[in-house]
Amino acid sequence: MTDQWHQPLRHIKSGELSGDTGQTSGMRRLEAISGKTAGSRKVWMGETHVGPATSSGDHHHGEAETAIYVKSGHPVFVFADGDEEVRLETSPGDYIFVPPYVPHREENPGDEDAVVIIARSSQEGIVVNLPSLWAPVEGPE
């Protein structure tokens, strides 16, 4: 018998991550935990890979809050603060928080893959690709 208090655990093995999720140019996003892979209702989790000397396209994740853990490499997270471009340089073990609707991109100036683990406050892998960090963003009404 299963009810809300007695649901089975889901085990997603590393080789079972799916690329069948929203993508952004310059990176590869892999989905692990989502509504479709694990039946989650409030969380999406996965990872992204950005190759050496590569930048992702500018994008945001809609209404979802995003938490990022840097697993390997030294990715740089870039966002706009008014007219200024802000660059957050990271190392393995660092965390980044991305609020809803904030346009950003990931850059990898290094010579090894940058891999980050991502958790979002949505069971969907929301990805909205943008032409620039300063593109108008439709937020909640």
Query: What CATH number is attached to the domain comprising 94?
Result: 2.60.120.10
Q: What's the number of domains the chain is made of?
A: 1
Residue type, 86: V
Q: Which of 95, 136, 114, 132 is nearest to 27 (CA)?
A: 114
Look at residue 1 in the predicted model and tell me its pLDDT. 59
The per-residue b/e assignment along 71-103, b for 16 or more CB within 10 angstroms, e otherwise, is: bebbbbbbbbeeeeeeeeebeeeeebebebebb
Q: What is the average per-residue pLDDT within 27-37?
A: 96
* Residue 135 domain-assigned (yes or no): no
pLDDT of 135 > 70? The answer is: yes
* Residue 7 domain-assigned (yes or no): no
* Residue 13 domain-assigned (yes or no): no
Q: What is the average per-residue pLDDT within 82-89?
A: 96
Confidence tier at 99 by pLDDT (50, 70, 90): very high
The total of other beta-carbon atoms located within 10 Å of residue 131's CB is 9
37/72 Cα distance (integer angstroms): 25
pLDDT of 2 > 90? The answer is: no
* Residue 53 domain-assigned (yes or no): yes
Look at residue 87 in the predicted model and tell me its pLDDT. 98
Token pair in block for residue 36:
């479709």
Q: Is 37 helix (H, G, I), strand (E, B) or coil?
A: helix
* List of residues 6+ apart from 30 with CB closer than 8 A: 17, 18, 19, 21, 46, 47, 48, 49
pLDDT in tens, 50-71: 999 999 999 999 999 999 999 9
26/12 Cα distance (integer angstroms): 25
* Residue 43 domain-assigned (yes or no): yes
* Residue 64 domain-assigned (yes or no): yes
Confidence tier at 6 by pLDDT (50, 70, 90): confident
Look at residue 138 in the predicted model and tell me its pLDDT. 82
Range(s) of the domain holding residue 110: 19-129
Look at residue 139 in the predicted model and tell me its pLDDT. 78
* Residue 6 domain-assigned (yes or no): no
* Residue 95 domain-assigned (yes or no): yes
